[in-house]
Amino acid sequence: MEIHHPLSNLRISFETLPHMHSRDLILHFHGAHDLVQKAVHGRFPRAIAASVNLNGLSGAYDAYVGRNSHMMFSTLLAEIQQATDTHRFDSITLSSFSAGYGAIRALLQEPTNVEIIDQLVLADTVYSSFGEQRNVKEARPYPRVDQNKPFIDFAKLAVRGKKGMVLTHCELEPEGYSSTEEVGALVRDAVGVALELVDESWTNDVRIKGHVRKGRFVSVATRGMQGSDHLAHLRALGTWYRMLPRL
């Protein structure tokens, strides 16, 4: 069954199975719902697949969450529960692609939200403003650490096995702000892990140049500096979900 709530930009898909008073929830920000639904149910057949799509960049998703992120999140979860006749969520996984990270970063800034979020899947999505300048001449500055602290803190919890996190990026380098690759390196450095360099081709035209797993933290680096290489991370969403431990 699929339900569309225009006012909240929320689309929900779930199997109408009897006696399902509790379910796993995968809530995705920024990406065609049909693709999200297929990716979710390919890995977690009985889970609820929900998605939010907005026009605009990460700021639109940050504004969607608003200043009181806990109240907004509680309201959104209650709406999904009511729509699916679910009494409680066995687990909550948030995922995003591209600009959708703005919503997740806003949610992670509230500790009460972090407590109930079990896993993150960040598919070539976490960008950042420039921060401290590097010592190397003409090199791009480092990403801002303060903007990425919510992701770093969650990654530390994943390394310790308390949460789950998959972080992916390609080589596309935007002008004027830090790339997903630069932010990925920042997060990995902060949690003390390094990529294992490889040269592999996975499904959905994803070319892998490195990956690492420590605890329940996974990071995957892919080749390519084109828009199509960025979009490949959305098409490979099912692959990233399969890297999560089974809920």
pLDDT at 72 over 80: yes
pLDDT at 81 over 80: yes
- Which residues contact residue 111 at a Cβ distance below 8 angstroms, ignoring those fewer than 6 apart? none
The answer to whether residues 228 and 206 touch, using CB atoms and an 8 Å cutoff, is: no
Neighbours of 75 (CB within 10 A): 12
What mean pLDDT is predicted for residues 125-144? 88
Q: Give the pLDDT confidence score for residue 7 in this predicted structure.
A: 67
Nearest CA to 224 among 206, 199, 212, 238?
206
Q: Give the pLDDT confidence score for residue 247 in this predicted structure.
A: 59
pLDDT at 245 over 80: no
Q: Where are the domains of the chain?
A: 1-117, 123-247
- Backbone φ and ψ of 209, nearest 5°: -115, -10
The answer to whether residues 177 and 162 touch, using CB atoms and an 8 Å cutoff, is: no
- Backbone φ and ψ of 185, nearest 5°: -65, -40
Q: Give the pLDDT confidence score for residue 144 in this predicted structure.
A: 95
Q: How many CA atoms lie within 13 A of 95 on its CB side?
A: 34
Q: Give the pLDDT confidence score for residue 178 in this predicted structure.
A: 96
Neighbours of 174 (CB within 10 A): 11
Radius of gyration of the chain, Cα coordinates, nearest whole angstrom: 17
Q: Give the pLDDT confidence score for residue 80 in this predicted structure.
A: 94
Give the bridge partners for 220, in sequence order: 168, 211
- Backbone φ and ψ of 143, nearest 5°: -65, 155
Q: Tokens standing for 210?
A: 């490195």
Helix (H, G, I), strand (E, B) or coil at 53: coil
Higher-pLDDT residue of 142 and 106 is: 106
Q: Tokens standing for 61?
A: 């998703």
pTM of the model: 0.95
Please state, in angstroms and rounded to a whole number, the distance separating the CA atoms of residues 172 and 183: 12
- Backbone φ and ψ of 10, nearest 5°: -110, 130
Please state, in angstroms and rounded to a whole number, the distance separating the CA atoms of residues 107 and 110: 6
What mean pLDDT is predicted for residues 30-40? 96
Confidence band of 143 (pLDDT split at 50, 70, 90): very high
Please state, in angstroms and rounded to a whole number, the distance separating the CA atoms of residues 11 and 30: 12
The answer to whether residues 29 and 104 touch, using CB atoms and an 8 Å cutoff, is: yes
Please state, in angstroms and rounded to a whole number, the distance separating the CA atoms of residues 75 and 191: 33
pLDDT at 6 over 80: no
Please state, in angstroms and rounded to a whole number, the distance separating the CA atoms of residues 46 and 218: 24
pLDDT at 246 over 80: no
Please state, in angstroms and rounded to a whole number, the distance separating the CA atoms of residues 173 and 180: 8
Q: Give the pLDDT confidence score for residue 77 in this predicted structure.
A: 96
